[in-house]
Amino acid sequence: FRVKLTVVTRQATVSMTPSASSLVMKALNEPVRDRKKEKNIVHNGNITLDQVIDIARQMRERSMAKELSGTVKEILGTANSIGCTVNGENPRDVQSAIDDGEVEIPDE
């Protein structure tokens, strides 16, 4: 999580932005686990491209990409490192399909 502290006239407000990996794991709908006891978990689930686009919209303000498609590709990279698939395909294949223009990503 990323914590943002905004102070206006001595009144502090806290807003939290979750990380990309935690949002992807939440989209996988995996059961809750005890992190102290269970290690080296393999996240081999499948998420849809629509879920990836929703996650990218949530992460938009933290992203360095100019367009939403760039943010979507960042989330696909996170999904690749976690080890899950997107629409039953490798996230790298989906990234290259976005680069080639085979997959359309909305502007916002």
**What pLDDT is recorded for position 35?**
66
**What pLDDT is recorded for position 103?**
80
**What pLDDT is recorded for position 16?**
81
Does 89 score more than 80 pLDDT? yes
Q: Residue 98 contacts by C-beta under 8 Å, 6 or more apart in sequence?
A: 69, 72, 73, 76, 105
DSSP H helical segments within 1-108, as ranges?
Answer: 20-27, 49-58, 68-82, 91-100
For residue range 3-18, what is the model confidence (pLDDT) as tens digits? 888 888 888 888 887 8
- What is this structure's pTM? 0.78
For residue range 30-87, what is the model confidence (pLDDT) as tens digits? 777 776 777 777 778 889 989 999 998 888 888 888 888 899 999 999 999 888 889 8
**What pLDDT is recorded for position 61?**
83
DSSP secondary structure code for residue 13 in this structure: E
